[in-house]
Structure 1
Amino acid sequence: MPENTELKEKFLSAPRLPGVYMMKDAQGRIIYIGKANNLKNRIGSYFTGKDTRPMAPFLLTRIVDVEFITTSTPKEALILENNLIKKYRPRYNVLLRDDKTYYHLSLDPAEKYPRLRLVRKRVNDAALYFGPYPSGMAAKETLKFVQQIFPLRSCRNLDFKFRSRPCLEYQIGRCLAPCKGLVDEKDYSMLVEGTVAFLQGHRKELISGLNKQMEEASSNLNYEEAARLRDRLFALKHALEKQHVDSVTEKDQDVLGVYADAGVYSLCLLFIRSGKLMGSKSFTPVKTKADLSEIVSSVLQQYYESNNPPEEIILPCNFPDEKVIAEWLADKKRKGVVFTIAMRGAKKALLDMACANARENFMVLQKKEEQKNTALVILRDKLALEKLPQRVECFDISNIGGKNAVGSMVVFQNGEPVKSGYRRFRVKTIDAPDDYGMMREVLARRFTGTGTMPDLLVVDGGKGHLNIALSVLKDLKIKLDVIGLAKEEHRMFFSKGSVKEKTLKCQDRVYLPGRKNAVSLASSSSALTLLQHVRDEAHRFAVSYHRRLRQKDDLKSILDEIPDVGSRHKNMLLRHFGSVKNIREASLEDLRNTPGLDKKLAQKIYSYFRNERDYSR
């Protein structure tokens, strides 16, 4: 038992009910969250030696407090545990690092003319979701292929509503222009049904249905429609023949492969749909003292919380709470889900394939980590830095003629962007073209006050920007390694009878304090590649913010010119129509039907856009 008397009393008073326990360290941080059918028995197992996991004694040395939340059933405890892990992200729980980046295709059957959309996250609405897809590229390729065979509309709802004529997609045969009534609702519904059947894996029924439609069109002498259906059938059959892995079963299956090396676990899921391997999903390796069974349990909870489970999940081992998780998944699917521990045969071969993919992912990421570490060492040695630049901050300025001037700060930790540390600065003290003054203001605002200091400060610019950074840090009495990174044209002179000058491509050069000439890193150097990545990310972040402010000002300037249109009306119009372009192209009837806009003002807006000739947009 723990020596802390208060903690000991909490353990002894743990309820004999299902629920969740949260262990906290000396700083009050939640470091581990677990669930139990009987909280008192579960907590007691930590101190009686019944919990044989290597992590149990490790946790006991770190916890100083524990909280309990009871639930009515073990299934509720399972759901609560998963939600709390996502909220608090405890250090010693197994976490899927990219648990919100699965790509799906979404289609809302409630729309009159539905469209397919690529989405990152499922929401609790009435739409149909297809996936997950292993990457954005795989999802986009699927979407592109489906649109070629089933020409559903691809435009946004606002564009669809206010479109004045069919778009380019109609001209190239990838849309039937329902926006202008060039296809009736019944024919469009058949396209939607075909799309859903294809994405749900009902390939045989779909091909049979298309064959029947083609024969009907041919018998009705509608040869153009028959030819379109024939081409659609050919494309579908050709796509299905590209499958390289077939299973003897027609089931939908997911296969979880695991590869372990020195306490680091790499995970990979294979997706088998209707007996065919449709893709895979690899996860960032996790370092944990948890055993394999607990890792499997955590993966099932976190992944299927936002994804539909298949009929069968093939696993490398048994795991705790198998019955509760099976019941939870069955509720989500509204059908039983089977867990299979593959020992031999075709399912074992699939499991071996998933484990091989997990191992390959681990090796690739390990090599990438080694390359990043090498790049950091090269930067330290080549640029004579005081320490390894594990945390790098880079600053850039973006403006046009001093207007809408902004600064950006991006953070890289061990060679990877940390987007939670990014900051944007709107320049407040300068409204003229003065990059140096703007950089001075941004840096002063960043380094005034408290905050984690970087190991290396990078400014996008040459000697001038570097000197500004050094001046700011000197005024604030801060000592940091600082460099400037700038593109320079490389010139060469040739002399043979006459002197000629030739400008070669721009090269990135590094400026260091107290050094007259810039340092050139090898163009193929991993260190230079890392610096370029940092600089380009700072530039992208600054430019995107500057454009957003500029567009906002452009919108305001156009609508501000219309008499009697105040800020309330502007916001209302933009919210209803989506853009000034749509407001400009709206009919008088559309404007009159805008909620909160009277007919007199609608007429003024309509007349303004019809009489105006000189637009910046």
Structure 2
Amino acid sequence: MAFDADAVLKHLPTAPGVYRMMDASGAVIYVGKARQLKRRVSSYFRKGAHNAKTQALVSQVADLQVTVTHTEAEALILENNLIKEHRPRYNVLLRDDKSYPYIHLSTQQDFPRLSFHRGQRKTEGQTFGPFPSSGAVRETLNHLQKVFPVRQCRDSFYRHRSRPCLQHQISRCTAPCVGLVSQADYARDVRHVEMFLSGQSNEVVDELVGRMEQAAEDLQFEQAARLRDRISSLRRIQERQYVAGAKGDVDVIACRTRENLACVQVFVIRDGRNLGNQTYFPKAPPDTDTEELIYSFIARHYLGRETPAELLVSHALPDSEVLEEALSHDAGHRVRVSSRLRGERRRWMEMAERNAEHALSARMNSEAIMERRFEDLQQALGLDEIPERIECFDISHTQGEATVASCVVFGREGPIKDDYRRFNIEGVTGGDDYAAMHQALERRYRRVKEGEGTPPDLLLIDGGEGQLKQAENVLEDLQLDMILPVGIAKGPRRRAGEEVLLIAGQPEDIRLAPESPALHLLQQARDEAHRFAITGHRNRRGKSRTTSSLEEIGGLGPKRRQALMQQFGGLKGMKRAGVEDLERVPGISRALAERIHGYLNGGA
């Protein structure tokens, strides 16, 4: 039976409420809220200028139900809950609906632990945040450990130590597990962590300065030097996280759309500290207005979650006072939505808009198949979030000679070749792939622990249980337990499509279908690591270790090569330099600088 719109509209109330449109199968295809139900719903069925999205929606309506509410703000909250429940295809939807991650401090213990936390906050101890992503938490924890050596190891690891671990050796922990620090000194570091995460970093610096000056007066120069280094590190963290002029809690929300693709960029500012940003790509029907998209994003994203006191938005929103009322009611405090921005806040928005534009361009330029592969990998491995970065390791040698390990990196946009690395393996028995893998992983992730480079979300190892065990041991020693190690082993017949995935901590392996997008992604990373390792091995075996590649450039003698090496620190620094940078080195002309640049970057 055809939908009789006139009969339904005749009995609709003029009160605020929520309406649900269903198709012939009874599935909810659209949920909306209205200040006056009769007027809003009637507008869909008037003959006139509707865009293609609305025309397609109306043509599929077979039934309509309404729920009357007391206020429009109450209707907005109900609309949000119904959209999350039914996920109608004509509404703006968010793929990621998980809670924000936090930093947790287990203050109930004698020697508290700092750790990553997501989910309910009704746990013992203190939680700090929220942070926009797990990567932002990881970065902050890494910075904190350099300044405040509070343990971040799991309790099971902590309780069974008989000697200090690697974290103590690299000055990232004071080893309370074996009694190398008093409870009073440890508590002082914990108090400083609490102060810093609560926005009192200036007070922490003042206290450390006082202790440094006192140590110098007492002729304890080594202690004064350690405090000086702490102060320097803490000020560098402040430079990264401080937002000039910020007061209170603010989220900056910018949206850019192009060719039916939308990108929303959210910068999170808490207590004057920039906690980072997160990029979202909401699924929206074609021809959705940017204002409607932002309005729907805010409702879906913030209702039911912690909301700051103010949201800065890139577009003026219709009925923003209703949105403010709903958010304030849900959050338990006043929430403002502001779009007319000046001064510092305008600069924040410009930064968010630039990031949104950049992310949108990168998304459009990347192959859609790569995005699908990452999404499928999240489902196949049961991950909380879509991984942003994968690193894959492989070993190559010829009967144990000239062993080289490779590390290739994949992001959501595909291979990140600037982050590829090779490791010349030394000091291990020829052909011992386990020891070679352990050395390469330790060299790579020890640098990560010391703050060099970006850690991955997933570590892929080309090999079976033995190689995977090396990865587990290295990550445990370095306490990088947020990195998931996965082994990819060839099947019994060693044919593509029959690979077996070994997941650290899981007793059973995973076998994906040969047509699985996730398997294709892992195969691509594995094959790329294999290619990169073989190339490095062949170069190492066939090329003299004493010959500099710069000797092949005509007109570049020993003195000029030495000047270049001193100026840029090595070939890597020279490769990153531009022609103008090379030309500034004494003895390097414009023409020679162009030849050097072309040679190092593949142009000669």
Change in Cα spacing, 1:415 to 1:146, as seen in structure 2 (3 Å) is closer
Q: Report the equivalent of 1:358.
A: 356
Shift, 1:313, TM fit: 2.1
Which of 263, 288, 292 in structure 2 is aligned with 1:266?
263
RMSD of aligned residue pairs (Cα, Å):
4.6
Which residue identity is paired with 1:239? Answer: I
How many angstroms does 1:257 deviate by? 1.6
From the superposition, tell whether residues 208 and 325 of structure 1 become closer, same or farther in structure 2 (CA, over 3 Å): farther
Alpha-carbon contact 2:315-2:339 (below 8 Å) kept = yes
Secondary structure, aligned partner of 1:132: coil
Instruction: Find the counterpart in structure 2 of residue 4 from structure 1.
Output: 3
Provide the residue aligned with 2:232 in structure 1. Answer: 234
8 Å contact kept, 1:210–1:229: yes
Q: In the alignment, is residue 284 of structure 1 matched against residue 281 of structure 2?
A: yes
| Partner in structure 2 of residue 254 of structure 1 | 251
Residue of structure 1 equivalent to 2:518: none
**Letter of the structure 2 residue corresponding to residue 4 of structure 1:** F
Mapping 1:421-460, distance limit 5 Å? 422=380
Alignment-mate amino acid for residue 127 of structure 2:
L
Deviation, 1:196, is: 2.9
Q: What SS does structure 2 have at the residue aligned with 1:159?
A: helix
Partner of 1:542: 501
2:250/2:311 contact within 8 Å kept: yes
Q: Evaluate the alpha carbon distance shift between residue 65 and residue 220 of structure 1 in structure 2; reply closer, same or farther with a 3 A threshold.
A: farther
- 8 Å CA contact retained: 1:122, 1:306: no
Question: How far off is 1:146 after superposition?
Answer: 0.6
TM-score computed with the length of structure 2 as normaliser: 0.56
Given residue 130 of structure 1, which amino acid in structure 2 is its aligned partner?
G
**1:296, CA displacement in angstroms?**
1.2
User: How much has 1:230 moved relative to structure 2?
Assistant: 3.3
Change (3 A) 1:8 1:119: farther
Quote the Cα distance in structure 2 between the aligned partners of 1:235 and 1:225.
15
The aligned residue for residue 98 of structure 2 is 100
Q: Relative to structure 1, is the Cα distance of residues 51 and 310 closer, same or farther in structure 2, using a 3 angstrom cutoff?
A: farther
Query: Which residue of structure 1 lines up, in the alignment, with residue 142 of structure 2?
Result: 144
Q: Secondary structure at the match of 2:190?
A: helix
The residue number in structure 2 matching 1:322 is 320
Residue 510 of structure 1 is matched in structure 2 by none
Residue 256 of structure 2 contacts residue 357 of structure 2 at CA under 8 Å; is this kept in 1?
yes
* Aligned twin of 1:571: none
Pairing 1:66–2:64 present: yes
1:128 matched residue in structure 2: 127
Instruction: Give the match's secondary structure for 1:196.
Output: helix
- Are the equivalent residues in 2 in contact too, given 1:54–1:291 (CA < 8 A)? no
CA positional deviation for 1:103: 4.5
Q: 1:345 to 1:421 in 2, by over 3 A?
A: closer
Q: Which residue of 1 aligns with 2:441?
A: none
SS at match of 1:198: helix
When structure 1 is superposed on structure 2, of 57-66 and 184-193 the one drifting more is: 184-193
In 1, the alpha carbon distance for the partners of 2:255 and 2:365 equals: 19
Q: Does 308-317 or 160-169 show the bigger shift?
A: 160-169
Write the distance in 1 (CA, Å) between the matches of 2:202 and 2:48. Answer: 53
In structure 1, stretches of 5+ residues that fail to align are 373-411, 425-486, 492-501, 506-523, 525-531, 551-617
Change (3 A) 1:78 1:184: farther
Residue 378 of structure 1 aligns with which residue? none
Deviation at 1:93, TM superposition (A): 1.3
SS in 2 for 1:97: coil
Work out the CA distance in 1 between the residues paired with 2:308 and 2:350: 19
Residues 102, 127 of structure 2: 8 Å contact kept: no
Answer whether contact 1:104 1:133 (CA < 8 A) is retained. Answer: no
CA contact (8 A) 2:99 2:305 kept: no
Distance 1:330 1:209, change over 3 A: farther
Over residues 354-394 of structure 1, what are the superposed CA-to-partner deviations in whole Å (9 max), with x where a residue is unaligned? Answer: 22221211111111127x5xxxxxxxxxxxxxxxxxxxxxx
Paired with 1:97 and 1:145, the residues of 2 have a C-alpha distance of 30
CA distance in 1, matches of 2:47, 2:202: 56
Once the two structures are superposed, residues 218-241 of structure 1 have per-residue CA deviations (whole angstroms, 9 ceiling, x without a partner) of 778887765544332121113334
Contact persistence 1:342–1:351 (CA under 8 A): no
1:249·1:274 contact (CA, 8 Å) conserved in 2? yes
Which residue is equivalent to 1:209?
207
- SS of alignment partner, residue 501 of structure 2: helix
What does residue 293 of structure 1 align with? 291
State whether residues 25 and 65 of structure 1, in contact with CA within 8 Å, keep that contact through their aligned partners in structure 2. Answer: yes
How far, CA to CA, are the matches of 2:123 and 2:29 in structure 1? 34
SS at 2:95 equivalent: coil
Aligned equivalents of 2:99 and 2:376: distance in 1? Answer: 16
SS in 1 for 2:77: helix
Instruction: Provide the rounded CA distance (Å) in 1 between the counterparts of 2:379 and 2:132.
Output: 29
| Partner residue in 2 for 1:418 | 376
Quote the sequence identity (%): 32
Per the alignment, in what secondary structure is the counterpart of residue 67 of structure 1?
strand
Whole-Å separation in 2 of the counterparts to 1:333 and 1:186: 38
1:130/1:93 Cα in 2 relative to 1: closer, same or farther (>3 Å)? Answer: same
CA distance in 2 between counterparts of 1:328 and 1:221 reads 61
Q: Equivalences for 1:24-63 in 2 at 5 Å?
A: 24-47=22-45, 55-63=53-61
- 2:103/2:114 contact within 8 Å kept: yes
CA distance in 1, matches of 2:56, 2:75: 24
Change (3 A) 1:332 1:200: farther
> How far, CA to CA, are the matches of 1:73 and 1:538 in structure 2?
57
CA distance in 2, matches of 1:228, 1:545: 38
- Runs of 5+ consecutive residues of structure 2 not aligned to the other structure: 383-393, 405-416, 418-461, 463-486, 491-495, 510-604
Q: Secondary structure at the match of 1:418?
A: helix
- SS of the residue corresponding to residue 91 of structure 1 reads coil
SS in 2 for 1:23: strand
Amino acid at match of 2:508: L
Question: Aligned partners of 1:113 and 1:344: how far apart in 2?
Answer: 46
Across the two proteins, how many residue pairs are aligned to each other?
A: 408
Alpha-carbon deviation of 1:28? 2.1
- Aligned-pair distance for 1:111? 4.5
Q: Secondary structure at the match of 2:358?
A: helix
Distance 1:227 1:421 in 2: 49
- SS of 2:24's equivalent in the other structure is coil
| 1:268-290 deviation digits (Å, cap 9, x = unpaired) | 12334555655322112644233
User: 1:519-598 to 2 correspondence within 5 Å?
Assistant: 542-544=501-503, 548-549=507-508
Q: Which residue of 2 aligns with 1:447?
A: none
1:514-566 CA distance string (max 9 Å, x none)? xxxxxxxxxx9xxxxxxx9999997776333996138xxxxxxxxxxxxxxxx
Q: In 2, distance between residues paired with 1:234 and 1:423?
A: 41
Q: CA deviation at 1:264?
A: 2.4
Offset, 1:121:
4.7
Shift in CA distance, 267/14, structure 1 to aligned 2, threshold 3 Å? same
Q: Specify the code of the residue in structure 2 equivalent to 1:128.
A: T
CA displacement at 1:343 relative to structure 2: 5.5
Change (3 A) 1:250 1:67: same
CA contact (8 A) 2:18 2:33 kept: yes
Paired AA for residue 196 in structure 2 = F
How many angstroms does 1:417 deviate by? 4.9
Question: In structure 2, what is the Cα distance between the partners aligned to 1:230 and 1:423?
Answer: 45
TM-score with structure 1 setting the length? 0.55
Change in Cα spacing, 1:242 to 1:265, as seen in structure 2 (3 Å) is closer
2:548 corresponds to which residue? none
